[in-house]
Structure 1
């Protein structure tokens, strides 16, 4: 996300960089999972919970839930620890990679503190943030290299303590202050270290004393007592530097903390609440109704709040600790969406996954998530007929209540009205099991890409069988199979597996293959029904194709593991004895360069304006003009809310122009503002109407910001639009394919697929006056016309 250096301070780490993260809530939305909770904390009458890379708060008075995500400026990295400072009203977030972010409750600003993250003398695996201990305005940060001190008043680092033998870097799991001494629970048999806070030279490892032996996971002060947890599950009270064992847990505790003179210890199956003398006050336990794992817990005067691995936060009362209420914001089941499909007012998210070599193992027994009307419907795995590795999603265009999802090991799952009804496999359909004579125990039905054609047939591809391509008629129930043996003689050794499947206007099926590039098949093409493009002689950078997309001009865009190609002549491909693809050459400072050379392309989607969205493995997502010559946007995790630069899948809501982007660390969307063209102008409309002064949407220059300007929706594919005042004077004019919204020409009025955007300026580049304006739309192909009226009040 966009970062600007706020100020610099010379401290131990060199130059402290506090970076104000940008808020992207205008055009972006985030859809993060809050089922798996890493840590909880509390303060200012709120409970805060951290999921993998997002935060939510629960107001104890109003029960209101609020989220903090990459949309608000979080990094999207993996969270390990959070701490709320009551004194400074700051939420401190620690990450696995050493990043620290501080959220100010007063203005919701997110400050990114990158000193530990950027410190080159500390190995990346040692930068993990293990614990925050706030004492007298300082935070003692436990890490895998030692202890760093951070001043919350000045927002700057102080000293760092390397307290191992000879000043070496050792793991510190937790610290506490007891009788003006700083105690550290250390891992890797480094025991417990202590030093006086009045000692000005704690950076000298020789100032630290060692208590006990072995490894320790936690240390905590409760009133006038000091407790510690060993890696052997033994719990100790430390008295005069002697460790007195007082209890041994049957399972290793995961979290030890104090609140209001109470000791809270969390294990996988239990939360124990003790008084300061280690008297047990309450025990909350996992049960059959709430079958999960506990990870961390905190308490209030009357309640226990437990972060779990799969249910969010569970709330229970001290007087009835095993009766739970689930607290969790709405969101998908998981963050790592693998395949998504936005269609018919729903967003489908599947989490199945397989690797770059088409290997679906280990098999994923995951559920499905469906987003509709701003609410999530999460279907658990046990409601999906044991269908594992769910991937590609196809909705029947003639019966949108039917959805078919590839189970890339078990077959094809059918859902009716979002309820799983049939799992098609080799026993009840035309699908086939793979057979490898040399590996008889390796079975499965490797169904991947699927697509409905214009006649309502569902087409699928299955790896490692001879008859790769199959069609299914949902009306008649008939299956048909088509062999690729002509070009792929041995389905086991000659092809590792298939990805995308798209179907063009002529009924040709285009399939992305790992070993054979792009394969095209049309059973109605006469004698030549199959062909492929995959060799270097055909200008393919790799045989391995991850994604393909047919654009509005019947040009096939091909994403390989080593770059991007375009097949311009698709109509004659099957009959072409030597088809070739082309790279896109752009000018970079006057130097010709290949677009996305050597990039691993993970997905390609085409919007209503024939612009291309291209996802990559490690460079974020690109938005290109129809010919690829102009980069309209390039979003990465540094300039957008993307939680990672790895893009798993892309899907575009053709009605709203919202682009959904799935990543291994969460799902986000960007409102691009374009839409798919309509068949007729009957539903065309203009909004907002009237345009009132409080909207403040006129006069801007960037037509890509869909929050501004006057929008005209419901346009057909090829239109001319004139805007005149009530006296007939021409004010603005735009035409499809000429006045494109993302053009470098900086038009005042432009068209993007089925949507036009006008910034309210006239031909003289001045904002128009108040009045009534006529919008005259003409379809240049059908000669259909429509006139709309627009009122502007300034």
Structure 2
């Protein structure tokens, strides 16, 4: 078994910064395997993948990334084009958005003219092709043709060239013999108009050359080529189509580059000279089993965009061997579930829909980011486990990882290698039953978690005994019946959380919050789902136990908290909403919001993801909104958050969205049990270090600590205490979980002078103390 480990050729350098306050703290983790389009310009190859672009310098083999962190919108890219004259990349999107990225410039221009056109249906705004002629860009869209001026960076006229001036899908345009030709879909045929005409806006000036459906039209020297949906390529001579070739696969792209014509099909790239003589033909290789999507060439090489391997570079004259080129990244830009641990991140791609329907089943594998880069494991390498979702790392053996499959069972890994697929033949897992289909096997394993005794707890949908424990040390399984609280079928479970005392909390689709206590062999089982119990929806989506053992509950229609979990099985209990004051009015926090995930950090603050409102970061009690990240004010590629995971050791928040994966370096970390490892950095603080903004960090402190900073003579400079000087409170010295931040200022709010400073740490619970010395050089 050979895993595909992709390393970038050089260190990836961002092109620019996103214009918002926290740009330097964000990082994109996008996939560049599935390439939408490849274009050439300025000795570089530009490749669009999903909502991101990467740029390959053909002379140095250096690569750069252009993502939401640099300022892209995060929408789905449909086409790109480079302008040599203006040294810029034009990016078109499926929703009609247009963006311009300038060479050697940090700014990205976003243009919403098409998006804002109310006369055009949202489904018809897709940009299909850019045709650049000097300063004019003819934009082919699903409604017609729009004109954009690169000199003025503004839109001009729009041409509706269908019959009677109706909207019609235009796939591509070309300028030939003073005419602009348009290849149209839906029976629109090939249409043309005099390019110099001042009345192109009048549909009557566009004449039909031929009827039918056409994918593309391209001019090369003194010839015009046309691609039909019938897999044929034609040369148009005096507006008469002469068939040149019938392709075995439907052509996808046709471009003119370097006095050559390049035609891409899913299995081949054909390169012709200006007499339509074939000079090169690249074919899909058995070593890279994929589909081609687009291609471009330079004087020596063919650069082929693929669905699975980024760009494949091969010799133009002898296209036999391929070199795989793309930045590091996960398999896909559709992360479903993520799990972080110190210096590691695991990603799966699910999936099931809102109603826990996994069909159509997917075969997508999983990804693992470690200190050396991304390791991508394919479906075949993952023992053909389908619909992979929750990832759980064994805290007692971190090289052992379990990944739930919502069809095939439970996948067990060791050191990145899939070892066992636990299913109905070799474990306590069981398949759902379909009447009349006794041989049908469908094991829908969902959320899982380890308890303090090293048992892995999982939940399986559509069976009478959904809750199961697995002991990895002896391979023993145990199952628990839920028919007393789930008399009918339950389609799925959203989450599982386990208290230190062994009580298990389960989020269900139809039966609200379920609590389970094994209770020394006399199990306690209870659910709350009624309106009088203050549950806003029976569909509970996510759970999180905070540092005070309060259970935070996300539902399809809002947020709730179970403040006292110890009385759940004894009394008639209800959960509480959080009431905040906003503009003098009392409101329910996240009222009616679809909550997708809740995570608790070292400061007991809460990261809460939503299905369409982005990511929130709340104070420990939910009364203060510290951050609210959306795609409009941050590098989030989408407001639809699918999962959140924390690398508490490094203070990194990983955020999975419907259009890609990003991370935010929040800086907070988990507290430690003692002060033994406490340290301060940077040390010394040198003149070039911006201490006010970047701050001195006092790391690996304990949970309940007092910190005093004095000068060498004992004068108090700053002081903080856990749960008092919390971060984002505006203090000079702030504590965030296991890390304290000092902005270098004294009690008078002035930056301190050069000298030696003492940092005195005192654990308020154990009375342990530690003194650190810090040198400041101004």
* Greater mean alpha carbon deviation, residues 772-781 or residues 234-243: 234-243
How far the C-alpha of 1:555 sits from its partner, in A, is: 0.4
Instruction: Show the counterpart of 1:747.
Output: 731
Instruction: Show the counterpart of 1:5.
Output: none
For 1:20 and 1:475, locate their aligned partners in 2 and report how far apart those are by CA, in whole Å: 48
For the residue of structure 1 that corresponds to 2:319, the secondary structure is strand
Contact residue 21 and residue 74 of structure 1 kept, 8 A:
no
For the residue of structure 2 that corresponds to 1:757, the secondary structure is strand
Instruction: Give the paired residue count.
Output: 762
- Say yes or no: does 1:515 pair with 2:513: no
- Say yes or no: does 1:172 pair with 2:170: yes
* Greater mean alpha carbon deviation, residues 517-526 or residues 77-86: 517-526
- Say yes or no: does 1:712 pair with 2:698: yes
For 2:551 and 2:377, locate their aligned partners in 1 and report how far apart those are by CA, in whole Å: 35
For 2:760 and 2:652, locate their aligned partners in 1 and report how far apart those are by CA, in whole Å: 27
* Greater mean alpha carbon deviation, residues 314-323 or residues 616-625: 314-323
- Say yes or no: does 1:253 pair with 2:254: no
Equivalent of residue 642 in structure 1, options 626, 636, 640: 636
Matches within 5 A, 1:115-514: 115-373=113-371, 375-437=373-435, 443-489=441-487, 493-514=488-509
For 2:440 and 2:563, locate their aligned partners in 1 and report how far apart those are by CA, in whole Å: 40
- Say yes or no: does 1:540 pair with 2:538: no
Instruction: Show the counterpart of 1:721.
Output: 707
For 1:372 and 1:639, locate their aligned partners in 2 and report how far apart those are by CA, in whole Å: 29
For the residue of structure 2 that corresponds to 1:694, the secondary structure is coil
Matches within 5 A, 1:660-739: 660-698=654-692, 708-739=694-725
Instruction: Show the counterpart of 1:787.
Output: 771
Instruction: Show the counterpart of 1:579.
Output: 573
For 2:726 and 2:711, locate their aligned partners in 1 and report how far apart those are by CA, in whole Å: 23
Contact residue 413 and residue 419 of structure 2 kept, 8 A:
yes
Contact residue 407 and residue 413 of structure 1 kept, 8 A:
yes
Contact residue 677 and residue 754 of structure 1 kept, 8 A:
yes
RMSD of aligned residue pairs (Cα, Å): 1.5
- Say yes or no: does 1:29 pair with 2:24: no
For 2:172 and 2:277, locate their aligned partners in 1 and report how far apart those are by CA, in whole Å: 23
Contact residue 215 and residue 230 of structure 1 kept, 8 A:
yes
Contact residue 528 and residue 574 of structure 1 kept, 8 A:
no
- Say yes or no: does 1:628 pair with 2:626: no
* Greater mean alpha carbon deviation, residues 542-551 or residues 426-435: 426-435
For the residue of structure 2 that corresponds to 1:382, the secondary structure is coil
Instruction: Show the counterpart of 2:11.
Output: none
For the residue of structure 1 that corresponds to 2:56, the secondary structure is strand
Equivalent of residue 85 in structure 2, options 76, 80, 87: 87
For 1:518 and 1:233, locate their aligned partners in 2 and report how far apart those are by CA, in whole Å: 56
For 2:346 and 2:216, locate their aligned partners in 1 and report how far apart those are by CA, in whole Å: 42
For 2:412 and 2:631, locate their aligned partners in 1 and report how far apart those are by CA, in whole Å: 36
For the residue of structure 1 that corresponds to 2:204, the secondary structure is helix
* Greater mean alpha carbon deviation, residues 223-232 or residues 639-648: 223-232
For 1:487 and 1:457, locate their aligned partners in 2 and report how far apart those are by CA, in whole Å: 23
CA displacement, residues 470-518 of structure 1 (integer Å, 9 cap, x when unaligned): 11111122111121223223xxx24222121110121101111011111
- Say yes or no: does 1:589 pair with 2:592: no
For 2:636 and 2:608, locate their aligned partners in 1 and report how far apart those are by CA, in whole Å: 14
How far the C-alpha of 1:344 sits from its partner, in A, is: 3.9
Matches within 5 A, 1:54-93: 54-93=52-91
For 2:232 and 2:427, locate their aligned partners in 1 and report how far apart those are by CA, in whole Å: 57
Contact residue 625 and residue 742 of structure 1 kept, 8 A:
no
Change (3 A) 1:114 1:319: same
- Say yes or no: does 1:657 pair with 2:651: yes
How far the C-alpha of 1:722 sits from its partner, in A, is: 0.3
Gap runs ≥5 in structure 1: 1-18, 699-706
Contact residue 270 and residue 285 of structure 1 kept, 8 A:
yes
Contact residue 23 and residue 71 of structure 1 kept, 8 A:
no
Contact residue 433 and residue 445 of structure 1 kept, 8 A:
yes
Instruction: Show the counterpart of 2:758.
Output: 774
For the residue of structure 2 that corresponds to 1:695, the secondary structure is coil
Change (3 A) 1:24 1:727: closer
Change (3 A) 1:55 1:771: same
* Greater mean alpha carbon deviation, residues 437-446 or residues 325-334: 437-446
CA displacement, residues 515-574 of structure 1 (integer Å, 9 cap, x when unaligned): 111111111267561122211010000110010000000000000000000000101212
For 1:139 and 1:51, locate their aligned partners in 2 and report how far apart those are by CA, in whole Å: 22
How far the C-alpha of 1:249 sits from its partner, in A, is: 1.7
For 2:340 and 2:749, locate their aligned partners in 1 and report how far apart those are by CA, in whole Å: 38
How far the C-alpha of 1:398 sits from its partner, in A, is: 1.2
* Greater mean alpha carbon deviation, residues 438-447 or residues 291-300: 438-447
Instruction: Show the counterpart of 2:551.
Output: 556
Contact residue 24 and residue 73 of structure 1 kept, 8 A:
no
TM-score, normalisation: structure 2: 0.96
Contact residue 343 and residue 650 of structure 2 kept, 8 A:
no
How far the C-alpha of 1:374 sits from its partner, in A, is: 5.2
For 1:142 and 1:210, locate their aligned partners in 2 and report how far apart those are by CA, in whole Å: 17
How far the C-alpha of 1:22 sits from its partner, in A, is: 5.2
Contact residue 21 and residue 112 of structure 1 kept, 8 A:
no
For 1:603 and 1:551, locate their aligned partners in 2 and report how far apart those are by CA, in whole Å: 13
For 2:462 and 2:584, locate their aligned partners in 1 and report how far apart those are by CA, in whole Å: 47
For the residue of structure 2 that corresponds to 1:661, the secondary structure is strand
* Greater mean alpha carbon deviation, residues 494-503 or residues 126-135: 494-503
For 1:280 and 1:197, locate their aligned partners in 2 and report how far apart those are by CA, in whole Å: 31
Contact residue 602 and residue 648 of structure 1 kept, 8 A:
yes
How far the C-alpha of 1:362 sits from its partner, in A, is: 1.5
How far the C-alpha of 1:793 sits from its partner, in A, is: 0.9
How far the C-alpha of 1:681 sits from its partner, in A, is: 0.5
How far the C-alpha of 1:364 sits from its partner, in A, is: 1.6
Contact residue 403 and residue 415 of structure 1 kept, 8 A:
yes
Contact residue 556 and residue 570 of structure 1 kept, 8 A:
yes
CA displacement, residues 159-213 of structure 1 (integer Å, 9 cap, x when unaligned): 1111111111111111111122111111111111111122111111111121011
For 2:397 and 2:636, locate their aligned partners in 1 and report how far apart those are by CA, in whole Å: 34
CA displacement, residues 269-324 of structure 1 (integer Å, 9 cap, x when unaligned): 11000011111111001121111101111110111111011111111112211211
TM-score, normalisation: structure 1: 0.94
Instruction: Show the counterpart of 1:567.
Output: 562
For the residue of structure 1 that corresponds to 2:320, the secondary structure is strand
Gap runs ≥5 in structure 2: 1-16
How far the C-alpha of 1:738 sits from its partner, in A, is: 1.0
For 1:616 and 1:294, locate their aligned partners in 2 and report how far apart those are by CA, in whole Å: 36
CA displacement, residues 11-62 of structure 1 (integer Å, 9 cap, x when unaligned): xxxxxxxx99659640000000000000011111100100011000111111
Contact residue 142 and residue 174 of structure 1 kept, 8 A:
yes
Contact residue 20 and residue 111 of structure 1 kept, 8 A:
no
Instruction: Show the counterpart of 1:49.
Output: 47
For 2:654 and 2:163, locate their aligned partners in 1 and report how far apart those are by CA, in whole Å: 51
For 2:531 and 2:272, locate their aligned partners in 1 and report how far apart those are by CA, in whole Å: 70
How far the C-alpha of 1:153 sits from its partner, in A, is: 1.0
Contact residue 34 and residue 312 of structure 1 kept, 8 A:
yes
